């Protein structure tokens, strides 16, 4: 009798190999989990038939001999169980072979399992290294083997039906996409929160370090901290205030520190001292700037200065302002007073043609449309002026405006054709520090200062002494804008953290 051994990664694969080689009627002796997989020991179905045929003559001879002793009235329970097992096995084999069932009582003999010779055990060659034992499949397959053995009524030609393991329904592509997008949004939100927290921590650390630095400078160079506080009170930017304070001796007295700061600012301010660069040289100039800054009035003032010096026949006025009601008439009135022709243009082609007709004029002044610095039409207006030929622009800066707003204005109107700037509404400004600060940091030439509505009286060349006096005027002790104690340091540290 040859016992076959089947080894596989899972119980299902071992059973499949068993049935392919021995058939569905094979007898499974044992199944157990071993290292690397599952091991099943089995016998062919004809091995049991041969053993049964060998045992029938012996049982018949034993039954023919007279009984030596009377059988006990009540057999032991173990003997009854063994007899019942043998009867069931005999019936099953008789049904398969077609032999008559012998219902006569036979001698009960103990069941002796066949001896297994290790040398006869057949092991199929393994083609792949064993994987870890799949205990779930082994536990699932073991009861199925026992059910097959305990079902003697199953026909030999019936195939063994194995229940496939339950499968989870595959998610639809739409559900997978929605889930992925939701996960991506969650990750992006988490990243944004993390970056915000890191930015806050960085700003806090920078402010603390700047505060420490300010305290160190206050102890080592008190004159610089006092001067920087005065410049911040006046309206200068922190950038220019630091630059000027670095040129002052740290132990200087307040009066000497102010004098040095005034000289440094005066040296960096590019103010034109005469009319040579505009009125005498001539050319085409376009006055640009935000709404309400005073472009039309300043155009009339410049026209009057040109007429006084070169005559009305050497000047022409052009307006592109077709948005404001009465804008053309206002400039025409100034033109009639000065005896200067006024032309109205609507687009770039019209402007090029008009300038070509006025090429014999000494000076041509263009009054443009006023618009906010964040208006997209600013770029269109600049492109129209640049495309018209050699047109230089003069930017009008409102002296009453904050410094950061003036920075936006300069950034919007900046370009290679920007000749310089003109301060307007100087008489309305509490301090000229913001306008001077912007002109210094952007390195723009300051041509004129306008301080009223009169034409042409309220247009002046820049006076450095007057401008610096207005810019460095100290705030009174009762002023709400007066900095006290370490408030200047707080401002500087806040700017460092931004």
The pair of three-digit structure tokens given for residue 387, joined into one six-digit string: 């495309």
- Given a cut of 80, whether residue 440 has pLDDT beyond it is yes
For 272-461, give the CATH class.
alpha beta
- Summarize pLDDT for 187-200 with one digit per residue, the tens: 888 888 888 888 88
pLDDT value at 143 more than 80 = no
Structure token digits, residue 9: 């990664």
- What confidence tens digit (pLDDT) does each residue in 294-343 have? 888 999 999 999 998 888 899 999 988 766 655 667 888 888 888 999 99
Indicate whether 434 pLDDT > 90: yes
Tens of pLDDT, residues 237-286: 888 988 888 888 877 787 888 888 889 999 999 988 876 768 888 899 99
Pairing of strands 418-424, 391-398: parallel
DSSP-based three-state secondary structure for 328: helix
Q: What integer pLDDT is reported at residue 455 of this predicted model?
A: 84
Predicted pLDDT at 399: 92
pLDDT of residue 147: 45
In terms of Cα–Cα distance, which of 164, 155, 12, 19 is closest to 95?
155
Q: Where are the domains of the chain?
A: 4-64+76-149, 272-461
pLDDT greater at residue 338 or residue 88:
338
If you count them, how many residues does the chain have? Answer: 498
What separation, in Å, do the N-terminal and C-terminal C-alpha atoms of the chain show? 91
Give the pTM. Answer: 0.55
Q: β-pairing, 342-344 with 418-424?
A: unpaired
* Average pLDDT for the chain: 75
Q: Provide the pLDDT for residue 104.
A: 46
Pick the range with the lowest mean pLDDT from 76-85, 277-286, 417-426. Answer: 76-85
Between 485 and 262, the more confident residue is 262
Residues with Cβ within 8 Å of 208's Cβ and at least 6 positions away in sequence, in order, are: 493
Q: Is the confidence at residue 361, as pLDDT, over 80?
A: yes
> Bigger pLDDT: 445 or 208?
445
What average pLDDT does this structure show over 375-382? 81
Mean pLDDT for 413-436 is 90
Of all residues in the chain, the percent with pLDDT exceeding 90 is: 16
Q: What is the rounded distance in angstroms from the CA atom of residue 399 to the CA atom of residue 345?
A: 30
């Amino acid at each position: 009798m040859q016992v076959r051994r089947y080894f596989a990664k899972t119980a299902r694969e071992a059973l499949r190999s068993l049935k392919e080689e021995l058939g569905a009627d094979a007898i499974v002796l044992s199944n157990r989990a071993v290292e690397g997989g599952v091991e099943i020991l089995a016998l062919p179905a004809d091995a049991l038939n041969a053993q049964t045929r060998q045992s029938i003559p012996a049982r018949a001879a034993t039954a023919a001999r007279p009984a030596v002793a009377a059988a006990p009235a009540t057999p032991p329970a173990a003997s009854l169980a063994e007899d019942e097992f043998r009867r069931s096995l005999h019936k099953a084999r008789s049904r398969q072979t077609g032999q008559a069932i012998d219902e006569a009582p036979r001698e009960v003999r103990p069941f002796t399992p066949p001896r297994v010779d290790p040398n006869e055990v057949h092991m199929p060659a393994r083609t792949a290294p064993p994987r870890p034992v799949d205990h779930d499949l082994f536990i699932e397959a073991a009861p199925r083997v026992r059910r097959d053995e305990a079902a003697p009524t199953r026909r030999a030609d019936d195939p063994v039906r194995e229940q496939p393991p339950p499968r989870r329904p595959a998610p639809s592509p739409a559900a997978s996409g929605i889930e992925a997008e939701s996960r991506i949004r969650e990750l992006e939100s988490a990243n944004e929160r993390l970056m915000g927290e890191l930015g806050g921590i960085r700003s806090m650390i920078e402010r603390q370090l700047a505060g420490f630095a300010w305290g160190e400078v206050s102890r080592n160079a008190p004159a610089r901290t006092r001067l920087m506080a005065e410049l911040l009170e006046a309206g200068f930017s922190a950038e220019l205030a630091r630059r000027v304070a670095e040129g002052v001796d740290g132990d200087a007295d307040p009066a000497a520190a102010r004098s040095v700061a005034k000289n440094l600012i005066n040296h960096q301010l590019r103010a034109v001292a005469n009319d040579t660069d505009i009125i005498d040289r001539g050319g085409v100039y376009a006055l640009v700037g935000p709404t309400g800054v005073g472009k039309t009035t300043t155009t009339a003032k410049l026209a009057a200065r040109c007429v006084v010096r070169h005559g009305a026949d050497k000047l022409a006025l052009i307006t592109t302002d077709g948005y404001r009601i009465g804008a053309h008439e206002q400039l025409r009135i100034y033109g009639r007073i000065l005896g200067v022709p006024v032309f109205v243009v609507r687009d770039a082609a019209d402007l090029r043609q008009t300038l070509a007709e006025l090429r014999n004029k000494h000076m041509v002044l263009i009054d443009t449309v006023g618009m906010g610095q964040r208006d997209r039409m600013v770029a269109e207006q600049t492109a129209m002026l640049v495309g018209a030929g050699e047109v230089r622009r003069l930017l009008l800066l409102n002296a009453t405006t904050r410094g950061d707003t003036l920075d936006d204005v300069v950034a919007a109107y900046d370009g290679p054709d920007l000749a310089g700037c003109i301060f307007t509404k100087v008489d309305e400004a509490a301090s000229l520090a913001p306008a001077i600060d912007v002109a210094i940091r952007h390195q723009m030439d300051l041509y004129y200062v306008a301080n009223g509505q009169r034409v042409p009286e309220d247009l002046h060349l820049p006076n450095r002494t007057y401008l610096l006096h207005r810019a460095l005027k100290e705030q009174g002790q009762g002023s709400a804008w007066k900095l006290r104690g370490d408030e200047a340091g707080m401002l500087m540290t806040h700017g460092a953290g931004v």
